[in-house]
Amino acid sequence: MNKVNYNDIFNEQISKVKATDKILLHVCCAPCLSGVIKRFEGLNLTLFYYNPNIMYKEEYDQRAQALIDYVDKINKGLAGVKFDKKVRLIIPEYDNLYFLNKISGFEKDKEGGTRCRICFALRLQKTYEFAKDNYYKYFCTTLTVSPHKDADIINRIGQQYEGYIPSDFKKNDGYLNSIKECKKHNIYRQTYCGCLFSTNNIKK
Ligand code: SF4
């Protein structure tokens, strides 16, 4: 069976987005954002850091701060990407208990299993709900830039919701770019995905 080319689908759909259309981009962390931000250049972009999976609060805050600093650079024109309007960043309240309740019983799954599917689903669902409640026409996620995450699984979840733009950001050297950008801008790169249940701490 031929695999769906989500990168082509992204390119086609993003080319139809008007500069006035509001897009909400779910962002898992600054490193992943740095690999994909150019794909949204010039658009009316808001970032949504909804990641109750990150353990624990200190780590969540450290990643949030890295994102705040990087967005500041973007808005000051220091990140090599241009936007007509300021890129906004929304950081909802941290609720790790919500994540723990949702993945209860799947703690021992290996990376990429049911626990991760639930984790993707709860983040995309919340992003969709926020987008809908706040009149965003489109939403998307940076999650597909990670070589450890299956774009097909993520996009099948996202495509249940109106306004979702599928992607496969690891194509076009998205992941490599994120490593380069992190070095260039001295962005904090975490050593594990987010929760502490992965047996092997995988670098994103
Ligand atoms: S390993 Fe990553 S994607 Fe999987 S459940 Fe944990 S935080 Fe979520």
Taken in order of first residue, the domains within the chain and their CATH numbers are 6-14+22-185 (3.40.50.620)
- Asked whether the predicted pLDDT for residue 188 surpasses 80, the reply is yes
3-state secondary structure of 125: helix
Cα(49)–Cα(61) distance, rounded to whole angstroms? 11
Q: How many of the other CB atoms lie within 10 Å of CB of 36?
A: 26
CB 70 within 8 Å of CB 187 = yes
What pLDDT is recorded for position 76? 97
Q: Put the strands of the sheet holding 138-141 in their side by side order.
A: 88-90, 44-48, 22-26, 138-141
What pLDDT is recorded for position 83? 97
For residues 22, 27, 32 and 37, what is the CA-based torsion angle, rounded to 10 degrees? 10
The per-residue pLDDT for range 54-105, each reduced to its tens digit, is 999 999 999 999 999 999 999 999 999 999 999 999 999 999 999 999 999 9
CA–centroid distance, residue 40 to ligand 1 (Å) = 25
CA–centroid distance, residue 192 to ligand 1 (Å) = 9
What pLDDT is recorded for position 203? 47
Cα(38)–Cα(80) distance, rounded to whole angstroms? 8
Model confidence band, residue 204 (pLDDT cutoffs 50, 70, 90): very low
Best probe residue, ligand 1, of 28, 29, 53, 63 (max atoms within 8 Å of C-beta): 53
The per-residue pLDDT for range 140-171, each reduced to its tens digit, is 999 999 999 999 999 999 999 999 999 999 99
The per-residue pLDDT for range 102-138, each reduced to its tens digit, is 999 999 998 889 999 999 999 999 999 999 999 999 9
Cα(103)–Cα(96) distance, rounded to whole angstroms? 11
**Kind plus residue range of the DSSP H or E element containing 107:** none
Best probe residue, ligand 1, of 107, 111, 150 (max atoms within 8 Å of C-beta): 111
Ligand 1 pocket at CB < 6 A: 53, 111, 115-116, 119, 193-195, 197-198
CB 139 within 8 Å of CB 26 = yes
Model confidence band, residue 3 (pLDDT cutoffs 50, 70, 90): confident
